[in-house]
Structure formats: C-alpha cells, structure tokens
Amino acid sequence: MARLLVVILVGLGLAATLCNALAGKKSKQEILEEKVSQMMKWADRRPVIKLNSDQFKEYLRTQPRNYSVIMMATALGSRHGCSICKQASDEFYAVGSSYQQSDAYSNKVFFAMADFDSAQGVFQTLQLKTVPVFYHFPAKGGKKNRLDQYDMGRFGFSAESLAKWVGERTDADFKVRRPPNYMMLFGGSAGVLFLLALIYYKRKSMEQLVSRHNCAVMSLFVILLMLSGQMWNQIRGAPMAQTDPNTGKVAYISGSGQFQFIAESYIIMAMYGMGAVGWILLSEQGPAAMKYSSGAQTTMIFVGVGLVGFVFSWLLSTMRIKNRGYPYYFLMK
C-alpha cells in the first residue's frame, strides 16, 4: 500500500512538471509574433537594423520567420581600411530610408547590417572574405539561391541598383529618394558664371582660346576621360578601391572583367595619356627636332618608343589581372 502511494505521488509530480513545461512552451505563432514585433521596434528606431551574431542567428537563420531581410555585411572600422564600406553604407541607408518612406513599407521586409567588429560570427557563418556584401534572406528559407547575393561586381552599389535588386527579390517596389544636392547646384552655377565671365572679358582674344593647339589638348582630355570609363563609374556607382578585411591589402584594379574601381579609371586614363604622348613624340616632335640637332631627334624617338612600349606592356599585364586565363605579356607580368 505504501509503495502504491509513493508511485502515485511520483506520477502526480511528473505530470505536474510536464504540464508546467508544456504551459511554459510558446507556440510557433507566438514566437513569430514576438520576432516581428521586435524587428518592427528596431526598424522604427533606424531604417537599417544593426545586428550582432546572436541576433543574426535568432532573427535571420532560425524559423519561424515570415519576413525577408536584406542584410549588408561590412567592416566600417578605420583599422580595416575599407575605403568603399562607408560609401556603400551610405547608399544602403538611402535604400532603407526610401523603403520606409514608400507605400511598399510593411512588416514583411527589413533592412539590416552586420559589422565585422560587432558580428564576427556572421562572417564565420557566411564564410566571408571580402566586404561589402549584400544578402537577401527570404522568409521561407530553404535552399540557397545565387540570386540572393547581390552581384556588386556587375551592378555597383548605387542605391538605385540596390533598390532594383531588392524589388526583384522581395516584390517591394519603391524608388530611392535622395535629398537635393545644393552643393552640386551651387558649384555648377558658379562654374557656368565663371565661364561666361571669362568669355566676356576675353572676347577680343577668342582666337587664342580656340587655337588649334588648345582645341587639340581639350579634345585629347575628353577622349581620355571617356575611354577611361568615368561615365560607367557614374552610372554604376563604382567604389574608389577595395580592401581585403583579412589581409588589409588594397586593390586599385578590380579582378573582374565586368567591373572597375574609380582609382582604376584614373590609372587607365594616365596610361592612355602616356601612350598618346609617346605617339606624338614619334610622329610630330621627333621629325620637328631635326632642325635643332640629330641628338634631339634621337632622344625624342627613344622616349616615344619607351613610353609606347611601357604602356603596351602595362595594358597586357592588366588584362592578366582582369582575365586570369589571359596568356600574353610583354616585358612585365
């Protein structure tokens, strides 16, 4: 009888413990509501939510989740030397802010950022070696889709390009809203006024301003500017350079044949300019130097050949950087 009583009491105790455990366990719907509520609170404070490693795991990698997250992985600390991270961050904030001000804003899409200094676990989980990187974490999870990682090498990181990609991945259709750039307006107006004033005061000597030599120099500058890809930089929002957060090495020439950096454009422009000077020395200045001495002509020819050869060799080595399988080189690899 005593044993039976003990068994009954133990059974009742276990049943009570089990009931308390079941009562304290939250349903998936309750967990989901708490997640959405917390994400909305963070989004109300700032358009781009800053995540640490634990928050990334709980809110982006763990189900249940009925919302999508657009996340930027970056390294904003000055010790990392990422020159484009700040520019990309500003563009990303412009996208997040524009989304919140649009009619498409809801609790179905959120913008987040994981900085290396506060979320190293995120970088380890995603096996990141370069920054910045943009990801889309869909609501349903599932298999990884290559389109859920933004191709910054092809499209740059301008807010407009990012917003278009976000719309394609989440169906959140909105336009980027930027504040008016009064400095550009003021600078452009001042430049036009200066040019008009110069033309007015120099109207009697316009023949000198539009001389053959000056027009040739201005034409050459415009040609070099266009050939270097400056217009592409403006359209795609290319960064100045890129820094590897692991090694700290700065790359001024992109390793992709479909992308370039602003610094790369300036380098190419300078190289094309040196090549142009080399050909001018060979075709114009070399023969013209004969009236001074044969030594001057020889010097002009050697300098011109040296410049053309150096530029040609550098262009081939650059092709080897941007196209790994390119087999040709001249003088330097």
Full-model pTM: 0.59
* Mean pLDDT of the region 34-62: 92
**In whole numbers, what is the pLDDT of the chain averaged over residues?**
79
Is the CB of residue 97 less than 8 Å from the CB of residue 47?
yes
pLDDT tens digit string along 211-268?
A: 777 777 788 888 887 877 777 777 666 777 776 656 667 777 777 666 778 888 888 8
State the average pLDDT over residues 132-145: 84
**Contact between 264 and 246 (Cβ < 8 Å):** no
Parallel, antiparallel or unpaired: strands 109-115 and 68-74: parallel
pLDDT band at 21 (very low <50, low <70, confident <90, very high): very low
pLDDT digits (tens, 9 = 90+) for 274-287: 888 888 877 776 56
% of residues, the chain, pLDDT over 70: 78
